[in-house]
Amino acid sequence: MNAQVTDSTAPSGPEAADTEARIFEAALKVFARKGKDGARLQEIADEAGIHRPLLHYYFRTKQQLYEAVAERLFTEFLMSFDAPAEGGRFADTLRAFIGHYMDSVRQHRHAAMWMVTENMAGSPILGEMLARAFATEGSPQRAMVEAVERAVESGEIQPVNPRQLMLTVVSACVFPFVTLPTVKMMNPLAAEDFDAYLEERKAHLFEVVYHGLASREVSDA
């Protein structure tokens, strides 16, 4: 159940030390992509490059493996919102948030995929986790929502519903990752150089959201 790995000493098995971690990473991917019911332990074992019974050695059951994975994914999801708090103009705060959030989703894309998968599958565990996190820390977007409200008060930006704005930005950042094959099929740049595509996307998103499409006399950024 535990495999308390190496408190600085060498592993026991041949490449044993990271077996548990490799299983965990593989489970992350498969559960996020297929959901709890759709995932097969054999598939996770293949992805990790190990024999299936090892799954049971490190995590007794599918349920327990899933719960461990879900907890980590949910934490990653929450952490993605911890943007660097900027004090200056909202334009800078927004640009920083978009850049940071998009990078975070890229790095923890399975957390984003898992959120979507579980929302659609209607798993109860997600509701519990959200309620718990909500109660202890408030909405994860809290800081950003407050920044929006301040910017409206200061007059830098038009009045806007902060929750709608947050959802719009989050949608625009997450969606490309949960529809990646389609996006790569529709957009050549995404297929060729995904990093460059994401940078283009950050810039586009900031421009459109902050300045909008309508032609304007003076550009101030």
Partner DNA sequence: GTATAGTTTGACTAGACCGTCAAACACTAT
Partner DNA sequence: ATAGTGTTTGACGGTCTAGTCAAACTATAC
Query: Which region, left, alpha or beta, applies to residue 82 given φ > 0 means left and ψ of -120 to 50 means alpha?
Result: beta
CB of 61 to DNA, least distance (A): 4
Partner from a copy of itself, DNA, none binding residue 99, C-beta < 5-8 Å depending on class: none
d(CA 16, CA 10): 9
CB of 184 to a copy of itself, least distance (A): 10
Q: Are 114 and 72 in contact (CB under 8 A)?
A: no
Q: Which is nearer to DNA, 5 or 78 (CB)?
A: 5
CB of 211 to DNA, least distance (A): 50
Q: Which residues of 168-203 are buried (b: 16+ CB within 10 A; e: fewer)?
A: ebbebbbebbbeeeebbeeeeebeeebeebbeebbe
CB-CB neighbours of 213 under 10 Å: 7
d(CA 62, CA 52): 11
Residues that bind DNA (CB under 7 A): 3, 5, 9-16, 19, 39-42, 50-54, 56-57, 60-63
> Tokens standing for 71?
């907890």
CB of 64 to a copy of itself, least distance (A): 19
Q: Which is nearer to DNA, 10 or 135 (CB)?
A: 10
User: Taking the CA atoms of the chain, what radius of gyration do you get in angstroms?
Assistant: 21
Partner from a copy of itself, DNA, none binding residue 15, C-beta < 5-8 Å depending on class: DNA
Select from 68, 67, 66, 98 the least CA-distant residue to 81: 98
Q: Which is nearer to a copy of itself, 19 or 117 (CB)?
A: 117
CB of 56 to a copy of itself, least distance (A): 21
Partner from DNA, a copy of itself, none binding residue 135, C-beta < 5-8 Å depending on class: none
Q: Which is nearer to a copy of itself, 34 or 56 (CB)?
A: 34
